[in-house]
Amino acid sequence: MSRALVVYESMFGNTKAIAEAIGTALAAEVVEVSDAPDVLPEDVGLLVVGAPTHAFGLSRPATRKSAADQAGAELVSAGRGVREWLDALAPHGRRVTAHAFDTRLRGGWLPGSAAKAIAKRLRALHFEVPERPMSFHVTGTPGPLLVGEPARATAWARAMLTGTPA
């Protein structure tokens, strides 16, 4: 039977919390990006990928360093980011559905989103990406998430299973 896999990158733990809400709703394995497989397991039919928005897109070593300096001992992702993982991911040659999400600051004044960059890369890797990327919002760089965002993530994930937009 086909299963779901959730892969996340997170500096302060906010993207991790959203990934875990999605993972629970999908009964999926949830893995931090440094532990994510570079060859997608054969039985994965649904992939969900999330990362924090850094400098209008996906993190880079320099933005992760800046986040790590702020996070201190609380740092979650100490290794590679989703950008480097997707660069390393082997072609899978079969139909796999994928969804992209990010966390980002609330309000609309900053352009760009890591989720958009993830969706673009997933499509380039021949994943089926059926919907627009999804953003969940934090109140400041270290968080916390806006009240209700984990519940919104749960609803989004449930909608993936039924094919209805959240």
Ligand X SMILES: Cc1cc2nc3c(=O)[nH]c(=O)nc-3n(C[C@H](O)[C@H](O)[C@H](O)COP(=O)(O)O)c2cc1C
Binding flag, residue 67, ligand X (CB under 6 A): yes
In whole angstroms, how close is the CB of 55 to ligand X at the nearest point?
5
In whole angstroms, how close is the CB of 6 to ligand X at the nearest point?
13
Binding flag, residue 54, ligand X (CB under 6 A): yes
Binding flag, residue 22, ligand X (CB under 6 A): no
Closer to ligand X by CB, 26 or 102: give it: 102
Binding flag, residue 66, ligand X (CB under 6 A): yes
User: Amino acid letter at 47?
Assistant: L
Tokens of residue 31, six digits? 């893995």
Residue 93's CB is within 10 A of a number of other CB atoms, namely: 8
Torsion angle defined by CA atoms of residues 87, 20, 115 and 145, in that order, rounded to the nearest 10 degrees: -140
Binding flag, residue 85, ligand X (CB under 6 A): no
Binding mask 99-128 for ligand X (x = CB under 6 A): ----xxx----x-x----------------
The three-point CA angle 112-151-46 to 5° equals: 70
Angle (deg, nearest 10), helices 14-26 and 149-162: 40
Q: Mark out the alpha helices in the chain (DSSP H runs).
A: 14-26, 61-71, 82-88, 114-124, 149-162
Going by C-beta distance under 8 Å and a sequence separation of 6 or more, which residues neighbour residue 65? none
Binding flag, residue 25, ligand X (CB under 6 A): no
In whole angstroms, how close is the CB of 160 to ligand X at the nearest point?
20
Binding flag, residue 143, ligand X (CB under 6 A): yes
Count of residues binding ligand X (CB under 6 A)?
A: 23
Which parts of this chain interact with ligand X (CB under 6 A)?
10-16, 52-56, 63, 66-67, 103-105, 110, 112, 138, 141, 143
